[in-house]
Every structure is written in C-alpha cells, then in structure tokens.
Amino acid sequence: MYYLFRKLFIAVLWCCCILQQAQAQTDLITNVDARKVTSLNGKWQYIIDAYETGFYDYRYKERAETDKEAYWNTDKPANKMDRKEHGYIERNTLNVPGDWNSQDPKFLYYEGTVWYKKSFDYVKDQTSNKLYLYFGAVNYSSHVYLNGKKLGSHKGGFTPFNFEIPDSVLKAKDNFLVVKVDNKRYANEVPTLNTDWWNYGGINRDVKLIELTANYISDYVVQLQPKSATVVQGFVNLKGPSIQKTVSVEIPELKLKKTFPISGNRAEINFTMTKFTPWSTENPKLYTVTLKTATETISERIGFRNIETQGPKLLLNGKQLFLRGISIHAEIPQEGRRAYSDEDARQLLGWAKELGCNMVRLAHYPHDERMTRLADSLGLVVWSEIPVYWTIDFSSKEVLQKAEQQLADMITRDHNRASVIVWSVGNETPVSTVRTNFMHSLLNYARKKDPSRLVSAALEVNYHSKENMRSIDDPLGEFVDIVAFNQYLGWYGGTPESCRTANWTTKYNKPLFISETGAEAVGGFHADDHTLWSEEFQEWYYKEQVDMLKRMPANYSGISPWILADFRSPRRNNPTYQDGWNNKGLIDHNGNKKKAFFILKDYYQQMQQKFK
C-alpha cells in the first residue's frame, strides 16, 4: 500500500508540474505585431566572453547583481580611479537579428558566451500601460538585464519569450540593455550534443518592445473545431488587474460579430460559421479576425480549415490530400547564415512553390514566425518540429520538461496558423521502451495543447528487412496520426538500384509519409551517374526513388525529401566534396538548381494531376 500511495503521489506531482508549465505558457504574448511595437533590431555592441568572466567571479560563483565587474552593469568608470575590465564599443558590433557565426570569421566555429548590449530611449504612452521585452529567439541560453536589473532567463534556441519591464527599471533616456547569449551544447539540453546542423549562436530573431494596456489579451485561438466544417471553437486569455465582462470576435468580411462572457481571465469561444471559404492549398483564403475588449482591439489574418485522418487517408476539408513536400533548414545557402527576414522566407518558400510543393517540413526546430505566416498566404501546409533529435536523454524528466516547454512555445505562437497541420515531436530517435514512453508523452502533450491538429515524428527505418519488403513497425507508430519515416535507400544503404526491388509497408492503418530521402551532390560538379557527389548521381538517385514511389501502398500520402537547399554542418568533413556542408540540397550554395530538382518537380506535376 505504501508503494502504491508513493507512486500516486509522484504522479500527482508530475501532473501538477505539467499543468503549471501549461498555465505559465499563457504569459507568452502572441500576435505581437498587432500591438504597439518598437523594434530594437539593428547594431548591438558585444563582448566575447569565452571564460564567462562577466557572469562568474574568479571563484566561479555567479556575480552579485550590484557587482561592478558584472557585464550587465555599466562599463563607464565613475571616476579615474574606478577600474572597469569590460567595455562595449562601436568597433565591436553585431547585427540583430542574425547569427554571429556568419558575421565575422573569428565566430565561425565559436561556441560559448557573447554579451550583447543595446541602448534605447522609451517613454510609455500611458503610465498605467505595461511594457514587455520580446525576443523571437536566442540560441541557446540567455540571461537578460536592463539597467543592471535581471529581467529573466530563457533556454531554447528557436522559440519566443518575453519579460515585463518594471516601471522602476525603465528610464526615459539611455536604457542599458544587456543579453548574455550562450550557444554551448550540453547532453541534457534540447537539442543535445549531437546534431547534423550548424550551431548558429546569437540573437537570431527580432527583438521588440511591446506596450500593452494594463488589461490586455495575451493569447487566443479562433479555429474550426476538429472534424467540423462550421463550428468555430477557441478561447481568449486576458491579463491584468481588473476583471472585464466580455470579449467580442468580429469577422467583417462575413458580417459576423459574436460576444462572449469572460470568467476570471478567460473567455471560451464557440459559434457557427456557415457561408465562408475554407482555407486550402489551392485557395488559401484568409479572413481578418478582430478581438475587442473594453481596453484593447487586435486583429490578424486567419484561415479556417479542417485537417484529419480517416484510416489510411489524410483529409483536408474532407478531401484527400497528397503531400508534395520538401524539408527545409532555416538557412540562406548563398550567405551561409541563419534565415530571419521577410526576404529570406520569400526565398525559401518561393523555391518550394517553384518545385511544385504544397507542403514544407520545417526541420528540425521551430522556424521564424515569418515562415508560417507566409505559408498561410501561399497555401503551403506545414510540418513544424521541436529539436528532439537523435540522442536526447530519454530517461530524464528534466529533459522531457524542456521538450514540453519548447513544444508549448511552438504551439502557442502558431496555433492560429491554418498552414500548420502537423506538430512533430522529434526526428530519428532510436527505438527503446524509455524512448517510446518519452515520445508518447510528448505526443499526448501536443494533443492536449492543440487537439485540432495532427501529431507525428520522423521515424528511422532498418535497411535489412527480408525479401525486399521493408516494414515500418516502430512502436511509436501506434501513437502518431501519420506514420512518417526517413529512408535513404541508395545513399546510406545499398545503391540507387536497390530501389528497384524495394517495397514499403506498415502494420498501422494510417497515412504513410516519407519524411526524408536524399543524396549529396556538389553543385556544378558533373560526371557520369555512377560517380558519387556528382549532380548526375543525385539525379539518378531521385529517378530510382520516383520509380519506387510508384509501387507504394495505398496509404502512401506524400514525401518531403531532404532537402531544399545545401546547409552547413560540422559533421560533413570531406575536404573535397563537403568542407563543412551537407550537400543534399536540390539547390546549391549559390542558389542554383541541381539536376535532381527537375526530376522531383516533374514527379510533383504528375501527382498534382492525379489528386486534382
């Protein structure tokens, strides 16, 4: 009996921890650009601090907040006897947003701490208003200080976060904002030590000041109810000291206005909407949705659609959907840097559209919000993923909590994006009981946070199946909505001819999706098709893959080959054909299309006609 109660007590504590995380997540402000926003992008001064001298003293203890040698405190001597051993100067500046690796050769492989400093002036419109400091993403760990006071810290290199700026800290002139950024890799982080992409350090996405009324909308969902074509369901979360009575939802184009009561700090949304155009890949219709309270009005463009599976079929608005996809890293190959701007999003998704895609897999982490918003406009469905990758410590509850927090941040930011149809909880995780339990927990967490979308993970397959029948039987397949798997038959196993006798199947009566396949080719290197690394070899690989795809079982629902464009990776060390690049892209370092691009494009044209 003792052990039963003990296990029950631990389970209750664990559930409470999860609920507390979910509740805390409402503090993340969504749709920030609909608010009063001041950009802090631009040139920031920096200090490279490989020994973390600005954070720890010589006994390796964290410095006191008032310690004058702490790098979050002023670098200006009070008098000629005031010793300062740190300083921010105009000669040392980095662009924000942007990774540090691509901005100066000395940063190329740097992993460690860099201190960023920005000065700004600010006077609030109303003294009662609240002011927040918002970061689109910082890789990986950050500590944020304003005028010598710590606002907070954050872990996770690809998700947004914000801190309130107290009135007692803000100054009208010459605010001294400092951010400690550390991109070192650790075994108990998400992602972990071992990845196949560049560890771009820095403040990689926008930094903004957000001014809000004392009572404001922090988060909301306005989406179609799962499996319904007419019922809109969601919520509005509010923050502030006074209780407001109602919130209204308006869609002017549909002449629709609904008012809902607020209970505590939340309003539940539920209404019927009949005469509207559903969002689809062929017609990505968006409506302006406006939320109003007594103190605030905000709007954004939202599409309404329904995504579901029925046995082996994937359905968008009740119609079978075949995913003509491509995997994408958040990088601009021509400059070897992290993607962050509107122009970057237009380039990457523009290439996907030119390829004939109706789907993109944004791997292996949440991409910039610009990508999902642009996908809404372009009619591209999105697979969005957290960096649970390869060798995560699946036995650690601490790591699970970190993964859950990143999953929550990703969902909260994008849960009004019609384009996002799949929340992915990881990639190529090795099969074991502890791993399956870990991943199953994440799948359940995603469903709880957002029951309106599908959940999945990219599974890894074994190439040594019998009699050329390769069965996808990973036990995680029982818990996902789409059985997705990565296969490189002809590159990491066998040769492209191996595809000629290969057949694929799964024991799960669910849509089957190839989440990766590909082969490396150096752009501009031409030889016969049996010469590894040549464009001709990659072209041959894709020809054999396409022929194999024609024999896929009836539940085959699409593919997202690896990858749209070449990207940097320290794992790729062949000095002639890689030199720090993974060259599986269909587009090379210079933005040129390789020969395989056109093989896949032709296949997608055929599949588009088939699923009209």
Are residues 236 and 205 part of one domain?
A: no
pLDDT at position 460 is 87
Q: Taking all residues of the chain, what is their mean pLDDT, rounded to a whole number? A: 94
**Structural domain span for residue 71:** 34-212
d(CA 473, CA 465): 11
Please report whether residue 586 resides in a domain: yes
Task: Answer whether residue 10 is part of any domain.
Answer: no
Dihedral Cα 163, 169, 170, 174, nearest 10 deg: -110
pLDDT at residue number 467: 66
Q: Are 235 and 220 within 8 A, CB to CB?
A: yes
pLDDT in tens, 547-585: 999 999 999 999 999 999 999 999 999 999 999 999 999
Contacts of 473 (CB under 8 A, 6+ apart): 506, 507
170 and 223 housed in the same domain: no
Q: Residue 243 pLDDT more than 50?
A: yes
Last residue in a domain, options 178, 212, 246: 212
Q: Tell me if 356 sits within 8 A of 604, measured CB to CB.
A: yes
Please name the helix (run of DSSP H) or strand (run of DSSP E) that holds residue 323, with its range, or none: strand 323-328
pLDDT at 463: 61
Q: Are residues 202 and 136 in the same domain?
A: yes
Determine the 3-state secondary structure of 4 from DSSP: helix
Closest to 117 (Cα-Cα) out of 165, 64, 70, 156? 70
Comparing CA positions, the residue from 447, 521, 519, 511 lying closest to residue 485 is 511
Residues 519 and 590 occupy one common structural domain: yes
Asked if residue 223 and residue 166 are part of one domain, the reply reads no
pLDDT > 90? residue 399: yes
CATH code (residue 226): 2.60.40.10
Note whether residue 1 is domain-resident. Answer: no
β 36-39/93-96 pair status? unpaired
Q: Where does a domain end: 295, 314, 337?
A: 295
56 with 120, same domain: the answer is yes
Q: How many CB atoms lie within 10 A of CB 487?
A: 26
Q: Which tens digits make up the pLDDT trace of 378-392?
A: 999 999 999 999 999
Question: How confident is the model over 81-111, as pLDDT tens digits?
Answer: 999 999 999 999 999 999 999 999 999 999 9
Give phi and psi for 541, each to the nearest 5. Answer: -55, -50
Cβ pair 144, 133 in contact under 8 A: yes
- Each residue's pLDDT tens digit, 5-42: 433 433 333 344 333 333 333 489 999 999 999 999 99
Grouping H, G, I as helix, E, B as strand and the rest as coil, residue 542 is helix
Split into its structural domains, the chain has a count of 3
Establish if 326 belongs to a structural domain: yes
379 and 280 in a common domain: no
Whether residue 548 sits in one domain with residue 417: yes
pTM of the model: 0.94
